[in-house]
């Protein structure tokens, strides 16, 4: 083996170590479900917060889904914060015109300011005990409010998120990634608290809510992190199910995944002082996420570079088989043609976004608004 090949192998081994440690911990603890002491008998009042920006094509489907939830609607208010310049707010008003429950509070913004400031306003307006944030381009399982309330009944737990149980549009890349992520978030929750909170369904105790950075690109996760910082646990429950659409195609995935990656990395960096503090959250959960989001994407890129160099040194132009092989892996993965390797590809795909996100952040990109992915909304129409 030449020196470059040894270096590549060393980089891969170093990059893999924390994952092996995490796997060992998983094997040791065998975590299952939510760690919260659930109480299924509680029935708090609920504020559902729905942010909307130009959602005419899908907003009625979303409202149909919300009012079909298995929960007494006289205990529910819907807080919509809307920055549309299309007919979205008119459709919402019409929808509720002769409906008594849930009560509607429609907050109209004069212009699009970005999601985080919009949500800060909606949370301030939410009056009920449990606040559930949901995205317009998602569907929520019927029992989700009940399961969320049962989790929040645990006095230590102040926020709970759920799982993308059915990836709409059938992307196996996304399904594979969510499968891996579900195991990680379950373990994190059993160790203490989880980091990532998901836009389609996140529930918070109203009393625990604080303002998030108006520039945030990871508003749900930021709110959860701040709640953990204030002393409560924030957990993942795989029994809370929602569905959201996703692409498999490599290029199409970048639009949403890169931005989400930027939001998460920036959040970790902003709160780097939490490392090592806050029990297992700062000792294990945050370092693990630092490794996955900030460190290992660079190590992976370095390893690919070194392996290519090593192969070129050893075999001349045939060494380019390394990047060509990687290209083929991406091409097949983006078409969901990798069979059992599809989950591995999903993690690789996430690492690509995180690397691109780091580069974009270093360049100073990333304000609070983004191009909405219209194609992802077609499955809801």
Q: Which residues bind ligand GDP (CB under 6 A)?
A: 51-53, 55, 81-83, 112, 114-115, 118, 135-137, 199, 256, 260, 369, 372-373
Smallest distance from the beta carbon of 375 to ligand GDP, in angstroms? 11
* Integer Cα distance of 302 and 226 in angstroms: 34
Q: Which is nearer to Mn ion, 220 or 349 (CB)?
A: 220
Task: Sheet containing 130-133: give its strands across.
Answer: 103-108, 76-82, 46-52, 130-133, 202-205, 157-168, 233-245, 138-140
Q: Which does 53 bind (CB under 5 to 8 A by kind): Mn ion, ligand GDP, none?
A: ligand GDP
Q: Which does 117 bind (CB under 5 to 8 A by kind): ligand GDP, Mn ion, none?
A: none
Residue nearest to Mn ion (CB): 137
As given in the structure block, the two tokens for residue 262 are: 């930027």
Q: Which does 372 bind (CB under 5 to 8 A by kind): Mn ion, ligand GDP, none?
A: ligand GDP
C-alpha closest to that of 153 among 41, 34, 73: 41
Smallest distance from the beta carbon of 165 to ligand GDP, in angstroms? 16
Q: Which is nearer to ligand GDP, 43 or 121 (CB)?
A: 121
Q: Which is nearer to ligand GDP, 52 or 232 (CB)?
A: 52
Q: Reduce the DSSP state of residue 194 to 3 states and report it.
A: coil
Task: Give the residue, chosen from 82, 137, 172, 219, that forms a contact with Mn ion under the rule CB under 5 A.
Answer: 137
Please name the residues in contact with 342: beta carbons below 8 A apart, sequence gap of 6 or more.
Answer: 172, 173, 176, 333, 336
Smallest distance from the beta carbon of 32 to ligand GDP, in angstroms? 28
Helices (H), the chain: 3-29, 59-67, 88-96, 115-125, 144-152, 172-191, 219-229, 250-270, 279-280, 286-290, 296-315, 321-333, 342-362
Smallest distance from the beta carbon of 251 to Mn ion, in angstroms? 18
Residue nearest to ligand GDP (CB): 136
Binding site for Mn ion (CB under 5 A): 135, 137
């Amino acid at each position: 083996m030449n020196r470059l090949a040894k270096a590549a192998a060393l980089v891969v081994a170093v990059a893999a170590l924390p994952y092996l440690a995490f796997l060992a911990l998983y094997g040791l603890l065998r975590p299952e479900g939510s760690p919260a002491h659930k109480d299924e008998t509680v029935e708090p009042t609920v504020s559902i917060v729905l942010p909307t920006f130009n959602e005419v094509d899908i907003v009625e489907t979303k409202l149909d889904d919300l009012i079909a939830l298995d929960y007494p609607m006289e205990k529910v208010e819907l807080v919509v914060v809307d920055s549309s310049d299309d007919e979205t707010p008119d459709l919402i008003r019409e929808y509720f015109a002769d409906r008594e429950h849930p009560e509607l509070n429609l907050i109209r913004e004069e212009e699009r300011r970005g999601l985080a400031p919009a949500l800060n306003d909606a949370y301030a307006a939410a009056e009920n005990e449990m606040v559930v944030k949901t995205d317009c381009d998602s569907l929520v399982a019927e029992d989700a409010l009940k399961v969320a309330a049962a989790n929040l009944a645990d006095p230590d737990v102040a926020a709970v998120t759920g799982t993308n149980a059915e990836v709409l549009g059938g992307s196996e890349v996304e399904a594979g990634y969510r499968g891996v992520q579900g195991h990680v978030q379950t373990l994190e929750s059993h160790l203490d608290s989880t980091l990532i909170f998901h836009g389609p369904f996140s529930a918070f105790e109203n009393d625990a809510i604080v303002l998030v950075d108006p520039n945030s690109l990871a508003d749900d996760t930021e709110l959860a992190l701040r709640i953990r910082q204030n002393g409560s646990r924030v957990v993942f429950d795989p029994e809370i199910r929602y569905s959201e659409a996703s692409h498999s195609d490599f290029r199409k995935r970048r639009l949403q995944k890169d931005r989400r990656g930027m939001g998460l990395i920036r959040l970790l960096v902003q709160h780097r002082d939490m490392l090592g503090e806050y029990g297992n959250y700062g000792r294990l959960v945050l370092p693990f996420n630092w490794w996955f989001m900030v460190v290992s994407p660079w190590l992976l890129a370095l390893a690919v570079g070194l392996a290519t160099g090593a192969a070129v040194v050893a075999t001349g132009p045939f060494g380019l088989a390394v990047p060509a092989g990687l290209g083929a892996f991406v091409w097949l993965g983006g078409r969901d043609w990798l069979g059992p390797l599809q989950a591995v590809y999903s993690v690789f795909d996430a690492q690509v976004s995180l690397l691109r996100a780091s580069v974009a952040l270093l360049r100073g990109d990333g304000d609070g608004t983004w191009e909405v992915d219209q194609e992802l909304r077609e499955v809801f129409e």
